[in-house]
Structure 1
Amino acid sequence: MTLIRKPGTAWGDVFARCRETAPEAFADDRVRNYWGGRWRADGDPVPATSPVDGTSIAGPPRLTAATATGAVRATADAHRRWSTVPLPERRARVTATLDALAAHRDLLALLLVWEIGKPWRLATTDVDRCIEGVRWYVEEIDSMLASRSPLPGPISNISSWNYPMSVIMHSVLVQVLAGNAVVAKAPTDGGVSCLTLAVALAARHDLPITLVSGGGAELSPVLVDSPEIACVFFVGGRSAGSQVAAGLLNSSKRHVLEQEGLNCWGVWEFSDWDGLAANVRRSFEYAKQRCTAYPRYVVQRSLFDQFLAAYLPAVRGVRFGHPLAVEPGQDGFPDLDFGPLIKDTKAKELTDAIDAAIAKGGIPLHRGSLDDGRFLPDQDRSAYLAPVAILAPPPSSPLFHAEPFGPVDTIVLVDTEAELLAGMNASNGALVASLACDDEATAQRLGGELRAFKVGINRPRSRGDRQEVFGGRGASWRGDFVGGALLVHAVTEGPPGERRYGNFPTHAHYPEV
């Protein structure tokens, strides 16, 4: 049966709803930035297309460094005012914002579908996690702020495009609740309209949130180095994160720098293959475009045949395609594991890396076809990549040592525990890791040797919500850890001599997770 786009979900329809909902933030076919208490049409909009099917969508205005500097100074003025607002009033305004976000939840989710290609289920989860997570902080904030005060200046947020609501907006709202003004840089590659709508709803309740957009090379120095900024939150890759870290090298500014790592799943003395197969399928959600994805399996050689018998049917069952493609008359949205990658250039980059790895000796265990996906007739499919699995990628390949950020698995075989640990610690630190192992004592012993912040035993680990602490080891994280009270402690001043948890240049404090 020929598929059609779900009625009422065309980009033009979605953007028209944005203009109707927040006309102050959406003008004609462009979005505005917000600083100094008003929406501004500064900067030249960057042409943008949706990864879903190449449709032209609103791109981020490209501000100059001078304009961004003015926005930071205006945020510092707002910080001086907001830091004196009593907590009950801050709580009431944040709660009103959360109610507004909940009222427009489906529109925010549709923007995520079009801008970053998330299937409907994952898009709504992103919005819901933001709302529900911040509500938890609203309820728990009193004890977290005991004997604490806001930072002396505003907080800067520079984050990647993949989680505009549950990472960027969530952090921003908790920072504001704790008494800080904030400036957020809209991601360049996607999510600008979703974040703009969320900030517009917050601005109506007088929350001190500044929204700017533009190239990282021009704006990041302003958002990191400006003397007004007291704290920097960064979520992204190691290359960009290292540049941010370099700007903080001789600074005493607070910082939370969440960076990528090669998260690995080790398989050792194991037999629950049905359980592993279910986790393999789930691991492909959002095409592994998240910081806690598992793109590497390190497998005991003697178990490889059993691993393969469980792995291949699972990866062949992954469903992907156009997130809005439905059968005529179908209710709801398609149930997909992933849609497109963030850009067609990313799909090409990964395809080239796959071809090069195989040409140099990597063994293609599975290479899916776009013909297996759900697509509209004759749609642009250039940003899509079917699942791929490669055994023994060559050490010269980027797939050997770096996170692919796409639906690509690599598998390495080992014979000893020492090889297992070396294979799982290949990237000098990771956010998460997991071990598939029947014996709990063996798994705990091996897990203690892994350079990952969270280690799962026969289950995946995630970033976590609410009270769960999150951080990284090695090069995957720099600065304060977050989650629960630690997120609030990272953005407030505590008593003199306070010991903070994090991964710092000269030491690291790792709380129990």
Structure 2
Amino acid sequence: MDLAERLNDPALFKTQSYVGGAWIGGDTSFAVDNPANRQKLAEVADVGEAGAKAAVAAASDGFKVWRKTSPFERSRILLKWLDLIQDNTDDLATLITAEMGKPWREAKGEIAYGAAFIEWSAHEAARVHGETLPVPAPGARGWTIRQPVGVVSCITPWNFPAAMITRKAAPALAAGCSLVIKPAPETPLTALTLAELADRAGFPRGVFNLICGDASKLGPIMTGSPEVRMIGFTGSTEVGKLLMRQAADGIKRVALELGGNAPFIVMDDADLDAAAAGVVQAKFRSGGQTCVSPNRIIVQDDVADDFVERLQARISEVKAGDGFAPDSDIGPLIHDEAVERVDALVKQAVSGGARVVVGGQPLADELGGSFYAPTLIEGSGFDSEIARSEIFGPVASVYRAGDEKHILDLANDTPYGLAAYLYTRDIGRVHRMSEGLDYGMIGVNAPMVGSASTPFGGMKESGIGREGGKWGVEEFTELKYVLLSGVNS
């Protein structure tokens, strides 16, 4: 069935970019494929440099209107966008599954997760305020004002094509900023549908702009234009560093959510069944293609054999398949190159002495797309490539370790610091190890760490800034101080 026929409202299916309240095309286009079967879904227009410049100009004009719009009106429009997204959840989930591959029920969960950021930010819009301050000068008054940063360029990844947009766009819009959004070329269809719904919600012209095309042409304009005052990005650390360098010339603010190498620590007093279930939930969500996916499962020696046996049993039950199949637990990887990379990491680990406990091979012949078997390996060294890299695939790798200090040293031995997981029933360990782990988010006996009301972000080379909660909105504001003299004169 053609994808457009799957949608209740075919008008949602857009293949052009949204700039200044209108849909614009380009001189060239690029294909969007379904990774589960390699079939082409659509040709999407590449707007090129001209489209990027038009988007920035439109956002600059839109900002002049939006910054002066009442926060209560901004909240109302955001809540209208929320209603439209929730009304079209099934269609959005269909697009996610088709262009990214994750199981449809998981795609619906992503829509709900992304929508929660809009709801939270909409209510936070009216809470952006300053403070009255004590000042040393007699007869003077001081206060602060929080004002929107300005035009924000948002560059989002393919692994959460809806939620990574709403997680940035909603707080920025709540703060009074205007946007130029560039989605990943692998997953533009979901993003374009969000733009259509934003149009229906009634954002003023130029406030919400979304462009598709070649990053090498769009990126320098989105980062280099003087009208752009902030860059929000989710993606690899390598690209994040590049964007940071590009932003430096204009002293632009950056909010970067980058790569991770999350440890999943299982202590000898942990509930091993809960820990094994936690690994499966955290590791195999989106086929392991998340920045907070556990990369190194570090288990205390005394319980390692028992834990590996329990984990093996659970991973053996994880089924890979087309995301539209109701019995699929994980979908395909995003493309064949991702499969090749994951397979190379596993083969390299095996050549270095690791053993494959479950899986360990591509499933293209069996399933016909970019699939890799749910995999468990054990015996890699902590200096192996698979331990040092972000796997970004359905491969769980177990490592054995000794006492708390040894485990903390191993867990922190990485330039990354996004998320970590700790399973223990000792409250003293909870405090000691949470404080000792150099990570921005720590899930204690919890395999999921993100929500709309809590701060999401990392330390070290995993990023700068926070998304979610009041912190997410504050990222898009400037703090201004005002001193008034002569009040009592």
* TM-score (norm. length: structure 1): 0.85
> Per the alignment, do residues 296 and 256 of structure 1 end up closer, same or farther by CA in structure 2, a change over 3 Å counting?
same
**CA deviations over 1:455-486 (Å, ceiling 9, x no partner):** 22222242222x211221111112x2222111
Match of 1:510 in 2: none
Match of 2:312 in 1: 312
Match of 2:411 in 1: 424
Question: Are residues 1:437 and 2:437 paired?
Answer: no
> Per the alignment, do residues 103 and 267 of structure 1 end up closer, same or farther by CA in structure 2, a change over 3 Å counting?
closer
From 161, 166, 171, the equivalent of 1:169 is: 166
> Per the alignment, do residues 337 and 218 of structure 1 end up closer, same or farther by CA in structure 2, a change over 3 Å counting?
same
Partner amino acid, structure 1, of 2:255: V
Matches for 1:336-375 after TM superposition, within 5 Å: 336-367=328-359
Matched-pair contact (CA < 8 Å) for 1:145–1:488? no
Q: Distance in 2 between matches of 1:74 and 1:229?
A: 11
The answer to which structure, 1 or 2, has the higher relative contact order (CA under 8 A, 6+ apart) is 2
> Per the alignment, do residues 314 and 116 of structure 1 end up closer, same or farther by CA in structure 2, a change over 3 Å counting?
same
The Cα RMSD (Å) is: 2.3
Partner amino acid, structure 2, of 1:346: A
Match of 1:213 in 2: 212
Matched-pair contact (CA < 8 Å) for 1:48–1:58? yes
Give the secondary-structure state (helix, strand or coil) at the position aligned to 1:213: coil
Q: Distance in 1 between matches of 2:275 and 2:367?
A: 34
Matched-pair contact (CA < 8 Å) for 1:347–1:384? yes
Match of 1:281 in 2: 280
Q: Distance in 1 between matches of 2:49 and 2:385?
A: 33
Matched-pair contact (CA < 8 Å) for 1:434–1:457? yes
> Per the alignment, do residues 118 and 148 of structure 1 end up closer, same or farther by CA in structure 2, a change over 3 Å counting?
farther
Q: CA deviation at 1:43?
A: 3.9
Matches for 1:11-90 after TM superposition, within 5 Å: 11-14=3-6, 17=8, 20-22=10-12, 26=14, 31-90=15-74
Q: CA deviation at 1:395?
A: 5.8
Match of 1:253 in 2: 252
Q: Distance in 1 between matches of 2:477 and 2:149?
A: 9
Partner amino acid, structure 2, of 1:349: R
Match of 2:238 in 1: 239
Give the secondary-structure state (helix, strand or coil) at the position aligned to 1:132: helix
Matched-pair contact (CA < 8 Å) for 2:32–2:185? no
**CA deviations over 1:163-192 (Å, ceiling 9, x no partner):** 1222213421332232111010021122x1
- Which segments of 5 or more consecutive residues in structure 1 lack a partner in the other structure? 1-8, 326-333, 498-513
> Per the alignment, do residues 482 and 278 of structure 1 end up closer, same or farther by CA in structure 2, a change over 3 Å counting?
same
**CA deviations over 1:403-462 (Å, ceiling 9, x no partner):** 111101122222233331122113223211122223220232122211111222222242
Question: Are residues 1:109 and 2:93 paired?
Answer: yes
Matched-pair contact (CA < 8 Å) for 2:36–2:369? no
Give the secondary-structure state (helix, strand or coil) at the position aligned to 1:220: helix
From 460, 463, 470, the equivalent of 2:456 is: 470
Matched-pair contact (CA < 8 Å) for 1:277–1:310? yes
Question: Are residues 1:403 and 2:399 paired?
Answer: no
Partner amino acid, structure 2, of 1:492: T
> Per the alignment, do residues 324 and 482 of structure 1 end up closer, same or farther by CA in structure 2, a change over 3 Å counting?
closer
Number of aligned residues: 465
Question: Are residues 1:455 and 2:451 paired?
Answer: no
> Per the alignment, do residues 159 and 189 of structure 1 end up closer, same or farther by CA in structure 2, a change over 3 Å counting?
same
Q: Distance in 2 between matches of 1:281 and 1:446?
A: 22
Q: Distance in 1 between matches of 2:48 and 2:351?
A: 44
Q: Which stretch of structure 1 is more off in the superposition, 467-476 or 148-157?
A: 148-157
Q: CA deviation at 1:370?
A: 6.9
Q: CA deviation at 1:148?
A: 4.4
Q: Distance in 1 between matches of 2:171 and 2:421?
A: 30
Give the secondary-structure state (helix, strand or coil) at the position aligned to 2:269: coil
Matched-pair contact (CA < 8 Å) for 1:262–1:426? no
Q: CA deviation at 1:276?
A: 1.3
> Per the alignment, do residues 393 and 92 of structure 1 end up closer, same or farther by CA in structure 2, a change over 3 Å counting?
same
Q: Distance in 2 between matches of 1:71 and 1:261?
A: 32
Give the secondary-structure state (helix, strand or coil) at the position aligned to 1:97: helix
Q: Distance in 1 between matches of 2:54 and 2:281?
A: 45
Match of 1:185 in 2: 182
Partner amino acid, structure 1, of 2:191: L
**CA deviations over 1:98-122 (Å, ceiling 9, x no partner):** 2222221111110001010111111
**CA deviations over 1:69-119 (Å, ceiling 9, x no partner):** 232122111111221122232222222222222221111110001010111
Matched-pair contact (CA < 8 Å) for 1:234–1:241? yes
> Per the alignment, do residues 379 and 70 of structure 1 end up closer, same or farther by CA in structure 2, a change over 3 Å counting?
farther
Matched-pair contact (CA < 8 Å) for 1:121–1:335? no
Q: Distance in 1 between matches of 2:76 and 2:402?
A: 58
Q: CA deviation at 1:271?
A: 4.3
Give the secondary-structure state (helix, strand or coil) at the position aligned to 1:188: coil
Match of 2:111 in 1: 127
Q: Distance in 1 between matches of 2:405 and 2:249?
A: 38
Matched-pair contact (CA < 8 Å) for 2:157–2:235? yes
Q: CA deviation at 1:240?
A: 0.9
Partner amino acid, structure 2, of 1:197: T
Give the secondary-structure state (helix, strand or coil) at the position aligned to 1:204: helix
Q: Distance in 2 between matches of 1:63 and 1:394?
A: 47
Q: Distance in 2 between matches of 1:217 and 1:464?
A: 33
Q: CA deviation at 1:390?
A: 2.1
Matched-pair contact (CA < 8 Å) for 1:126–1:166? yes
Partner amino acid, structure 1, of 2:354: G
Match of 1:490 in 2: 475
Give the secondary-structure state (helix, strand or coil) at the position aligned to 1:452: coil
Give the secondary-structure state (helix, strand or coil) at the position aligned to 1:266: strand
Q: CA deviation at 1:369?
A: 6.3
Match of 2:292 in 1: 292
> Per the alignment, do residues 43 and 486 of structure 1 end up closer, same or farther by CA in structure 2, a change over 3 Å counting?
farther
Give the secondary-structure state (helix, strand or coil) at the position aligned to 2:211: strand
**CA deviations over 1:348-387 (Å, ceiling 9, x no partner):** 221122112212322222225677xxx9xx9862300111
Match of 1:511 in 2: none
